Amino acid sequence: MSYDLFKCEICGGQVSRRKSFSLKELGGGNGRACRHHPEVVELIKKLGEETLKRDVAGFIRNFQVQALVAGIRVLYTLYGIWPETIFSYMRHRRVEPQMIQATRDELVRAGSWRMNTEEILSAVFAWKTVSSRRA
């Protein structure tokens, strides 16, 4: 079984696809390079850190949107405060428009502004569990 050999762009040696990385995919130029070169290792670390930062930022943003949707639904169910009133307040507090739109979209996806009985009971039970731990 034959396989293709490529020229390493750093040392000029012959290297297989399995023993090399594409520099283009790593954001470091064209061609392929041996895995063991310090330059390649540094590019891999940089790419990994950027990916991790992007994933964490996405998780935090998603968590913030979910928390806002839960809060809006509670305020509407218990106090009758309309979501548009809350969005207006968010605009007044200079919350970024993308966050407001993501919250609006998630609220629509939830299906209803009003919490159903199961959600209310679940929230009360969770609150009671947390408050009993503090005592």
Residue 96: predicted pLDDT: 93
Could you tell me the two tokens for 16?
């297989």
Mean pLDDT of 13-18: 87
Give residue 133's pLDDT.
67
Separation CA 9–CA 54 (nearest Å):
29
Measure Cα distances from 107 to 10, 16, 67, 97 in Å: 52, 51, 11, 15
pLDDT tens figures, 73-131: 989 988 999 999 999 999 999 999 999 999 999 999 988 888 888 888 887 787 777 66
The token pair that represents 112 in the structure block: 């209803």
Decide if 109 is inside a domain: yes
Domain assignment present for residue 12? The answer is no
Question: Cβ(10)–Cβ(34) under 8 Å?
Answer: yes
134 pLDDT exceeds 70?
Answer: no
Q: In the numeric block, which tokens belong to residue 72? A: 């809006």
Structural domain boundaries enclosing 121: 54-134
When divided into structural domains, the chain yields a total of 1
**pLDDT (tens digit per residue) in 30-82:** 888 888 888 888 888 888 888 888 888 889 999 999 999 999 998 998 899 99
pLDDT band at 1 (very low <50, low <70, confident <90, very high): low
Would 19 be classed as within a structural domain?
no
45 falls within a domain:
no
Domain membership of residue 126 (yes or no) is yes
Phi-psi region of 14 (alpha: psi -120 to 50; beta: other; left: phi over 0): beta
